[in-house]
Amino acid sequence: MPTYDKLSLFIFIDAFGWDILNGVNFFESELPHRRRLRSVLGYSSTAVPSILTGRYPAEHGHFSFYYYDPVNSPFKWLKPLRLTPDFLASRARVRNRISQYLKRIYGYTGYFQIYSMPFKYIHLFDYCEKKSIFAPDGIINGDNIFTKLELADVDYHVSDWRASEERNFASVCSAVESRSIEWAFFYNADLDGILHIHGAGSMESLTRIGLYRKRLGELFDIVRRNYRESDIYVFSDHGMANTTEHHELWRDVEKLGFRFGRDYAAVYDSTMARFWFFNQDARAAVTRLLNSKTYGRILGEEELKELKAWFPDGKYGELFFMLQEKHLIVPSFMVRKPIKGMHGYHPDAASSYAMIMSNRPLPDSVKAITDIYGLMVQPLVGRDCCKGRTA
The answer to whether residues 66 and 333 touch, using CB atoms and an 8 Å cutoff, is yes
> pTM for the complete prediction?
0.95
Over the range 309-329, which residues count as b (16 or more CB within 10 Å of their CB) and which as e?
A: bbeeeeebbbbbbbbbbbbbb
Domain ranges of the chain: 6-58+132-241+348-386, 64-131+243-342
Task: Out of 5-9, 94-98, 218-222, 247-251, pick the least confident.
Answer: 94-98
Of the pLDDT bands very low, low, confident and very high (cuts 50, 70, 90), residue 382 is confident
Of the pLDDT bands very low, low, confident and very high (cuts 50, 70, 90), residue 288 is very high
Q: List the Cα angle 335/341/343 in 5-degree steps.
A: 85
- What tens digit of pLDDT does each residue of 51-99 get? 999 999 999 999 999 999 999 999 998 888 776 776 666 677 878 888 9
Residues 6+ apart with CB under 8 A from 260: 121, 254, 266
Over the range 58-95, which residues count as b (16 or more CB within 10 Å of their CB) and which as e?
A: bbbbbbbbbbbeeeebbbeebeebeeeeeeebeeeeeb
Q: Which CATH superfamily is domain 64-131+243-342 in?
A: Domain 2, Phosphonoacetate Hydrolase (3.30.1360.110)
DSSP letter (8 states) at residue 360? S
CATH topology match: 6-58+132-241+348-386 vs 64-131+243-342:
no
CA distance 391 to 266: 39
- What tens digit of pLDDT does each residue of 120-166 get? 999 999 999 999 999 999 999 999 999 999 999 999 999 999 999 99
Query: What is residue 176's three-state secondary structure?
Result: helix
The share of the chain scoring above pLDDT 70, in percent, equals: 96
pLDDT of residue 389: 35
Whole-angstrom CA distances from 162 to 102, 134, 353 are 16, 11, 26
For residue 90, give the nearest of 274, 266, 342, 337 by alpha carbon. Answer: 337
CA distance 187 to 207: 18
Asked if the model's pLDDT at residue 326 lies above 50, the reply is: yes
Q: Which CATH class is domain 6-58+132-241+348-386?
A: alpha beta
CA distance 359 to 314: 42
Positive or negative, the Cα torsion across 108, 271, 51, 170? Answer: negative
One-character DSSP codes across 112-169: ---TT--TTTGGGEEES--S-TTSTT--SSS--HHHHHHHTT--EEE--TTS-HHHHH
CA distance 51 to 71: 31
- What tens digit of pLDDT does each residue of 330-350 get? 999 998 899 999 999 999 999
pLDDT (mean) for 199-224: 98
Give the helix/strand (H/E) hosting 60.
Answer: helix 57-60
DSSP letter (8 states) at residue 202? -
For residue 368, give the nearest of 133, 21, 147, 47 by alpha carbon. Answer: 47
Of the pLDDT bands very low, low, confident and very high (cuts 50, 70, 90), residue 387 is very low
For residue 370, give the nearest of 46, 31, 24 by alpha carbon. Answer: 46
pLDDT of residue 78: 84
Asked if the model's pLDDT at residue 390 lies above 80, the reply is: no
Distance of CA 135 to the CA centre of its chain: 16
CA distance 124 to 236: 33
- What tens digit of pLDDT does each residue of 93-110 get? 878 888 999 999 999 999
CA distance 289 to 274: 14
One-character DSSP codes across 276-303: EESSHHHHHHHHHHHHT-TTEEEEPHHH
CB atoms within 10 A of CB 207: 11
- What tens digit of pLDDT does each residue of 14-42 get? 999 999 999 999 999 999 999 999 999 99
The share of the chain scoring above pLDDT 90, in percent, equals: 89
**Over the chain, what is the mean pLDDT?**
95
Query: What is residue 378's three-state secondary structure?
Result: helix
